[in-house]
Amino acid sequence: MDDNIGEFIKRIRALEAQIEQEFQQRRQQLQTDFENSKVRFEAEVLAQQRRFKEGILSYVWTSDWRHLLTVPFIYPVLLPMLLLDSFVTLYQWVCFPLYRIPRVKRSDFFVFDRTHLAYLNVIEKINCAYCSYGNGLIAYAREVVGLTEKFWCPIKHARRVLQAHPHYSGFVDYGDAQNYRDQLEQLRRQLQQMQPETDAVALSQLGQLGNAGLTTVRIMKTFQTMADLVACVGQDVATTEWVEITQQQVNQFAEATGDHQWIHVDVERAKQGPFGAPIAHGFLTLSLLPQFFDKTVEVNEARMGVNYGLNKVRFMAPVPVGSRLRGHLHLHSATPIEGGLQIQWNVTIEREGSDKPVCVAESLARLYV
């Protein structure tokens, strides 16, 4: 996974540590302790909790009759849930290694801790265990099916999907026939590079954050105001996702610009040439800058942004077709102008597997509020 996902995971871990500190303070107030993933309440607290426990007969007698009528329909669902659990587990254990996808850790999705609560009677504890299993199973199956969809059919739907799984936001746009094959292979490589038991959980947590208020989970450095952006002058702000350069892109760029030099478009001749393969046009590499900015940096206060030009550009190394490139964005300056800011980004574009950058550029843009 790329550096931005890694940064998100680190931030999640830091938030988890802060939350755990809050829980520790809360546990001290409740005189509780956690030992080997099991909750142990102090005797005094247990005694206090039991005061609020309702007896089974009283619980049944005072229950709404409509609730009692649903019992024969609720618990038979346990059988298909067990079957689903078995088949999903069997499927991923057999197929994921063949796809070279790390298996999903099933235990991450099932939590049974409410049975330790002394104020719940046996029926309530059974209900809680049932709900914990059902919701854990759905989350577990959703992660397995989400990874499967990313491997076999990573195409967004034409209509909005309510609470899509956390992998969905990275899928190929509906109808994007031109880029589908290339992005399919790129997404499959991402799957194969996932770290088991870590990335899947982090992505699920990111998905939960998205469902809580964000429309999509994007690898994005977001600034609320222009002032927030100005505060980052002199800093390395972001690193983009990897972008693969295909022969189709090179050919289309040649058509658009009229630059049909053989080192770019004549594959067989280029193999015998100085680079051993066709290479991308330098200006094709440079043309990646707009998408780098669009997919990596946003300023909510900005109404629009325009390219203003370039101070300096150098193409430091060739880019053979099939290379994967990404940009490192350094905010050099931010100068007030009428209605907004003029900003200079110092962009370094690197090629995967190479120590030497393929392009360095001083890019100017103007943002307007």
Residue-level pLDDT at 210:
41
pLDDT in tens, 247-297: 999 999 999 999 999 999 999 999 999 999 999 999 999 999 999 998 889
Q: Which residue has the higher pLDDT, 171 or 133?
A: 133
> pLDDT at residue 43 above 70?
no
% residues pLDDT > 70 (the chain) = 80
Mean local confidence (pLDDT), 31-50: 57
> pLDDT at residue 134 above 70?
yes
Residue 3: pLDDT band with limits 50, 70, 90: low
- What's the chain's average pLDDT? 82
> pLDDT at residue 35 above 50?
no
Beta-ladder partners of 305: 367
Residue-level pLDDT at 194:
63
> pLDDT at residue 33 above 60?
no
CA dihedral 273, 275, 281, 283 (to 10 degrees): -140
Mean local confidence (pLDDT), 169-196: 78
Among the listed ranges 31-40, 140-149, 175-184, 311-320, which one has the minimum average pLDDT value? 31-40
Q: Which amino acid is at 136?
A: G
Task: Give residue limits of the domains in the chain.
Answer: 1-216, 221-368
Between CA 303 and CA 263 the distance in angstroms is 41
Tokens describing residue 155: 């195409």
Residue 219: pLDDT band with limits 50, 70, 90: low
Q: Which residue has the higher pLDDT, 169 or 234?
A: 234
Report whether 250 contacts 265 (CB < 8 A).
yes
CATH 3.40.640.10 for the 221-368 domain, yes or no: no
